[in-house]
Amino acid sequence: MKNPWKKVIDIEEVEDNVDGKSERVIHAKQKTLERNIKEGAVASFSNGISATYITPFALALKANAFHIGVLSSVAGLASPLSEIFGSRMMLKKSRKKIVLTFVLLQAFMLIPVALLGVLYWKGILENYLLYALIFLYTLVVIFGGILAPSWFSWMGDIIPEKYRGRYTSMRNRATEITAIIAILIGAFILDFFKTKGLAIIAFSILFTFAFFGRIVSYNLLKKEYSPEFKVKKSSYFSFFAFLRRFDNYGKFSVYLAIFNFALMIASPFFSVYMLEELRFSYTTFTLATISSSIFYLAFSPAIGKISDKYGSMKALYISNFLFAVNPLLWMFFRDTWFLIIVPGFIVGVANAALITAHTKFTYDSVKPEKRGICLAYTSLLIGIGTFVGSLLGGFLIKYVHFVSYNQFFFAFILSAVLRFAVGLFFLPHVKDEEKVKKLPHMHLSIRHPIRSIHTEFTWFKTIFK
């Protein structure tokens, strides 16, 4: 029987380039590369449920747009602050032990989240459950933040340098497949229970599934090989020293912070917009949500190849432009199928480009012993941008209505304009650290359109090889 993962995780070429002190170490790294994709897929099942249905769950507990802004902003700032704590833990504890400990804590924190639905159903402490959800979900995010630097540093010592973009895109592809499965299961369960007047119980079931997904992830991580690694105190420096240096990676980090500020003025509220303004059913909401994941799957391998061949910055330009266009589509189009397909395509490609570029640029730009702390400081900057952007977006949607079109209009338009502006101002100042090929020139000709089409078809084939 053929391995169903073969096409998704065809990593033989990556495995062939693994190095190590002995055949045993090389084999251990190769097995870890395979197992880590499977672990990511299982973890994504859990995260897919949590990330997709936390906002609908909050809305079911009577949250408004400002509450959603608080949920996104507090979680967005708590994660990077905890990453700094997590990066410092590597001075005293092994990366694998840190990851295992906090994956387990993260899993068990999902149990009380699931219980909130039961309490609401029973009418127990109804007025406090929304705030309990914000608090508990923030803890889930904090535990994830603590383990992130150790996991990122650990994987940096496993993945061959030459294939970081390609491997990242393969792993992300596997995680998106299971995230889509999780989201579809969630939609089916929610709509089934909603017809019986028990939608709130469906959320409890979903977060119970998320708990079991994280437990399986923990058991897979236990079997992964972790090379010896020791962080020296000399590798650490303060956050303000990081800002003062403002080197190429520092400019990249500041760009991500301000870009995420622009993103989060609108991004946390697309779910609210779909469910409350457009009155999407949970099934339609799910189709709109997974649409971007499907396009992500389709384009992630190509983006990985482009990133490895032509550099991370090309991918960042693609990502920035597409993310800037997205809020405009939601404001000026209301056809359901259009909103399911076109914004999904744009966000799917944009996410593939951003995630691949972010990961690869960090591995290429930062020395192994400093990756943990640099990732933590970058995440803190992103978290500050997320915190301020989410609060501002929630405030604008709740209290500032300059036009009668709908309450989301001003926030979404402002977000789009700022996304364009941030890219135009910051991206020209950030450069690829590695030597990369230049993109071949396109040769468009109005006089010879047929010849141009053939030439540009060859151009696309060349860059995606």
Residue-level pLDDT at 345: 92
- Supply the pLDDT for residue 455: 47
Q: Which of 70-74, 136-140, 167-171, 359-363 has the highest mean pLDDT?
A: 136-140
The pLDDT assigned to 442 comes to 47
How far apart CA 449 and CA 159 sit, in angstroms, is 44
- Of the two residues 99 and 195, the one the predictor is more confident about is 99
Say if residue 286's pLDDT is above 90: no
Q: What is the pLDDT of residue 383?
A: 84
Range 364-382 average pLDDT? 81
pLDDT of residue 444: 46
Report pLDDT digits (tens) over 208-254.
Answer: 999 999 999 999 999 888 877 766 666 667 778 888 878 888 898 99
Poorest-confidence range of 127-136, 235-244, 422-431, 443-452?
Answer: 443-452
Q: What integer pLDDT is reported at residue 9 of this predicted model?
A: 52
Query: Rounded CA gap, 69 and 182, in Å?
Result: 24
* Structure confidence at residue 16 as a pLDDT band (50, 70, 90): low
Give CATH superfamily name and number for 21-225+245-434: MFS general substrate transporter like domains (1.20.1250.20)
21 vs 170 pLDDT, higher one: 170
Q: Look at residue 304 and tell me whether its pLDDT is greater than 50.
A: yes
pLDDT above 90 (res 334): no
pLDDT of 3 higher than 70: no
